[in-house]
Structure 1
Amino acid sequence: MNALTFNGESLVLRPSGALWWPTERLLCVSDLHLGKAERMARRGGALVPPYECDETLERLDAEISAMAPRRVICLGDSFDDGPAEHGLSEAHRMWIARMMAGRDWVWIAGNHDPGPVRLGGEHLAEVRLGGLVFRHIAEADAAPGEVSGHYHPKARLAGSRRPCFLTDGCRLILPAFGSYTGGMDADAPEILALLRPPMKAVLTGPTPVVFPIGP
């Protein structure tokens, strides 16, 4: 894991792609995209293995078991689209309910879904806490302390393309936590337009790797 001081707050970038805020006991994950396989099949797209919900929930469950958070923020696009929530199996629904039990849970609205309205928890456009604001898509004129997702950033190192966190000290962009989510290159113009030098990427995985990006 990798420690980060961000807008005066001490955060931890977890190898899984989750963000941990120890003083708040807050766990944040972005872009679960649950139901992607079901959505693609429903729309006649390319078929992907139907295990993405299990894999994503297993990883989230492991983070919750390891960190015992008081609050969980799902940072938007928790489902691949609105109808995907309705396609969730009863077993998956109960799995999510068990993880939610006994803790504050916030679903941030994303561009793929407005938040799973049939599940419990709060449903908000953004959350402001301490010096941080959590929203799905970074805003061009955001004040320092913005935490967002949406872009599914990935960076290439030694021929391997891996999900990564991106930060310039004022913004923090989380990788997609869900399985089969794809991603955008960390140095894509859309991302570089949001960040100011010096910028760095922190790759996910058991051995965090930090390196500069951009011009």
Structure 2
Amino acid sequence: MPHSFRLGPADLQARPSGALFWPAQGLLCVSDLHLGKSERLARRGGGLLPPYETPATLERLDAELEATGARQVVCLGDSFDDLAAAEALDEADRLWLVRMMAGRMWHWIEGNHDPGPVDLGGSLRAELPLGGLIFRHQAGGDGFEVSGHFHPKVRLAGQSRRCFLTDGQRLILPAFGAYTGGLRVEAPALQALMSPGARAIVTGPRCLVMPMPRC
């Protein structure tokens, strides 16, 4: 089940998948899809991974769109593992993505891995102010911000679990992509960003809320 909470003027839902839903705006937000990661690793001589992450990620995204009925989507950057991965997207996956975009307002936020797809449609921007929130790739700016980039994870019952982090001013989403690692919430970068009283919303079969672990 999703977890409902408030960020500034907005009533939001953290979904067990790692997606964020804003019911009043009909908006689904996901971060760090990293589509094409296996292709990028093979191209650059890295470790070889089974090339299934793109359809697996698209399947999860499609399910979230169906479940929420979202009318608009924000992808918070690093949607592709790099620009060449976007250009090398399998035709079937490209058509799948285009179908999901059809009839929806779709916003691509620039990330550090990619500047955003150039030929898939939708709007491309550095950040998106909307309804009193600011959507950007990396936390650290002004306002009530929603961001990604760090792929936060928390250790729970001996397992590493993806999580949202929020302190009432900032919200950091977990990575949504199938082949994405993560940064432990005890890392100095995350500790410095989140104020005392911050919470971790752990993803999984249902969302679990806990105080953000501190060093």
TM bracket, shorter-chain basis: over 0.9
1:1-150 to 2 correspondences below 5 Å:
1-139=2-140, 142-150=141-149
Residues 67-117 of structure 1: CA distance to partner in whole angstroms, max 9, x if unpaired? 111110000000001100111011011000000000100110000000001
Q: Shift of residue 14 of structure 1?
A: 0.5
In 1: Cα distance, 2:55 partner to 2:143 partner: 35
Residues 2-24 of structure 1: CA distance to partner in whole angstroms, max 9, x if unpaired? 00111121000001000000000
Structure 1 outlier segments of 4+, above 2 Å: none
Instruction: State the TM-score, normalized to the length of structure 2.
Output: 0.97
The aligned counterpart of 2:180 is 181
Q: Shift of residue 130 of structure 1?
A: 1.2
The one-letter code matched in structure 2 to 1:80 is D
In 2: Cα distance, 1:190 partner to 1:5 partner: 24
Select between 45-54 and 204-213 the one with higher mean Cα deviation. Answer: 204-213
In 2: Cα distance, 1:187 partner to 1:99 partner: 36
Equivalent pairs counted in the alignment come to: 213
The one-letter code matched in structure 2 to 1:33 is H
Q: Shift of residue 207 of structure 1?
A: 2.0
The one-letter code matched in structure 2 to 1:25 is G
**Structure 2: segments with no counterpart, 5+ residues:** none
What secondary structure is seen at the aligned counterpart in 2 of 1:88?
coil
In 2: Cα distance, 1:169 partner to 1:68 partner: 26
In 2: Cα distance, 1:91 partner to 1:7 partner: 40
What secondary structure is seen at the aligned counterpart in 1 of 2:138?
coil
Q: Shift of residue 143 of structure 1?
A: 2.9
In 1: Cα distance, 2:160 partner to 2:37 partner: 21
The one-letter code matched in structure 1 to 2:115 is P
The one-letter code matched in structure 1 to 2:6 is T
Q: Shift of residue 186 of structure 1?
A: 1.1
In 2: Cα distance, 1:160 partner to 1:129 partner: 36
Identical residues among aligned pairs (%): 61
What secondary structure is seen at the aligned counterpart in 1 of 2:111?
coil
What secondary structure is seen at the aligned counterpart in 1 of 2:165?
strand
**Structure 1: segments with no counterpart, 5+ residues:** none
What secondary structure is seen at the aligned counterpart in 1 of 2:99?
helix
In 2: Cα distance, 1:97 partner to 1:143 partner: 33
The one-letter code matched in structure 1 to 2:15 is R
The aligned counterpart of 1:193 is 192
The one-letter code matched in structure 2 to 1:99 is M
1:151-170 to 2 correspondences below 5 Å:
151-170=150-169
In 2: Cα distance, 1:81 partner to 1:91 partner: 19
Structure 1 contact 143–170 (Cα < 8 Å) conserved: no
The aligned counterpart of 1:210 is 209
